[in-house]
Structure 1
Amino acid sequence: MNNPLLTLDNVDGAYARDYNVLKPSQVPNALGVAGLAATLLASIYCGWVDRSLPDFAAWSSTLWMCVALFSAAVITPRVFVPGFLLSLLPFLIAWRVAAMTDARVMVWVASVAAVPLCLQFVDCVVSDLRRDRGKATAWLGTFLWQATLVRLYFGLNELCHSSEKIFAGLDWFHRLEAGFQGFGLGETAAAFVVLGGLIELACAISVGLGLFARLGAALSLIYFLVATVGFGGEWSRGYAWASPGGGGWEYVMLLMVVFAGVLFTGAGKFSLDGWLMRSGWMPRRLLPLAVNSQGIDR
């Protein structure tokens, strides 16, 4: 029998309506929108007035903040999960770029703007847990919220590395290019910097936002194995991450264990995959890239 999650007939059905249930009950979305709007204005100021956001960093931060603000203002009020996730990722990129370039005005404004975004997520978790105390009627449930938080953190953590490679401006790009040349890459170092940044961005989108999460987790595992075995040398420096000769394999293994968990199961309900499946917009042939066979029925 065909699974009802996989048919377009359910766009306005029970599964689609289920995603309208989860939304903050105490933190108004207007606070998040106001914070993102203020951060956008701060990025424009830092990019074209005090020039603390240099060259490409000014454009990337401003454009990413436009995406974040649009999603928060237009998508989030209609359906919280995709709107929140699509606001969070570009906001974190812009915030990271501002911190790297010492754009202090934007850093402080973004730090304040992050508060209502965090509170919206906490509000959803607390509301869900209070409503049913882990019963079958829970939108997600205690243990799955825990897994979701871990996945979000480790997936979106890759934005820090991606941003420094491809969004933070020419100064940071050339610094990393010089570092990659130290790996013996020569004239191809610049291409590898861009490639690494794009892969890390793809991993953040796939694992962090949960878009074809199993595929992204597999890509992340391969990427970290290549980066650490072929270039970083973490596996030859012992266990401790903070060691005199450079970081060991402690943190790398932590990342890989989390990514392996996502590879086994998928991202869960608080994800773009979950929303696409329950809205009937996930093609059946692409399901194995998003979730395992048990997850399809949940």
Structure 2
Amino acid sequence: MNIAFSSALKSLHLNLDRAGNWLAPMTLRLFIAWEFFESGLEKWQGENWFADIQDRFPFPFNHVPATLNWELSMWAELICALAILIGLGTRLSAIVLIVVTVVATAAVHWPADWSTLSELAQGYAISNKGHGNFKLPLIYLAALVPLLLSGAGKLSLDAWLGQFFWRRNNR
């Protein structure tokens, strides 16, 4: 019985590994695409409020006009979200969205004042209660890093194009 259980467990692990190569990156891509496309659409349909926080943008974005920052952010969120959704240029799109997220965290979500780690930890929240609210941007970064490091996965245009060009170059 122990041998049968061990064999079943190995088979389960093998099947989960196979499915993971397809589904794990796709799950991250769907999550990231939804979140960033939604944010880009809000900018598309909304009023530019970046002028109100321009002084809080990190270098070099604090030297870029607020209108251009708004446009860059909006188009990066819309285009990179779609690219990540279909798995095309995933690593480049992940880098762009990491930059957008870091800038947004510095300008909007990071606490204005903190002197201890316990004060900073109060900003690890969804809503800002006077201590910042960097929980969601941190979650986005945690989802973007695997896409940057490992790519879009097997169910993507990146993988399909890679196979197409690999086969073509090895003939």
TM over 0.5: yes
* Partner SS for 1:275: helix
Aligned to 1:268: 153
In structure 1, the residue matched to 2:137 is: 252
1:197 partnered with 2:74: yes
Aligned-partner Cα distance in 1 for 2:137–2:90: 19
Offset at residue 246 of structure 1 (A): 6.9
Higher relative contact order (CA 8 A, sep 6+): 2
Q: Which runs of 4+ in 1 moved over 4 A?
A: 132-136, 281-284
Q: Which amino acid aligns with 1:234?
A: W
Amino acid at match of 1:270: L
The answer as to whether partners of 1:151 and 1:208 remain within 8 angstroms in 2 is: yes
**Which 5+ residue runs of structure 2 have no aligned equivalent?**
1-10, 56-63, 113-121
For these two proteins, the number of residue pairs brought into alignment is 141
1:206 is displaced (CA, Å) by 3.2
- Partner of residue 240, structure 1: 125
Residue correspondence of structure 1 range 4-83 to structure 2 within 5 A = none
TM-score for the superposition, normalised by structure 2: 0.67
Aligned twin of 1:218: 95
CA contact under 8 A between 1:267 and 1:273: conserved in structure 2? Answer: yes
Q: Using the aligned pairs only, state the percent identity.
A: 25
Aligned partner (choices 52, 66, 69) of residue 182 of structure 1: 52
**Gap runs ≥5 in structure 1:** 1-131, 285-298
Question: 1:198: Cα distance to partner?
Answer: 0.8
| Counterpart-to-counterpart distance in 1, 2:160 and 2:50 | 39
The separation in 1 between residues aligned to 2:35 and 2:138, in whole angstroms, is 15
Matches for 1:117-136 after TM superposition, within 5 Å: none
After superposition, the Cα gap between the structure-2 partners of 1:214 and 1:184, relative to the gap in structure 1 and judged at 3 Å, is closer
Specify the code of the residue in structure 1 equivalent to 2:150.
T
1:265 shift after superposition: 0.6
Q: Which amino acid aligns with 2:50?
A: F
Q: Following TM superposition, by how much is the alpha carbon of 1:251 offset from its aligned partner in structure 2, in angstroms?
A: 1.0
TM-score between the two structures when normalised by the length of structure 1: 0.41
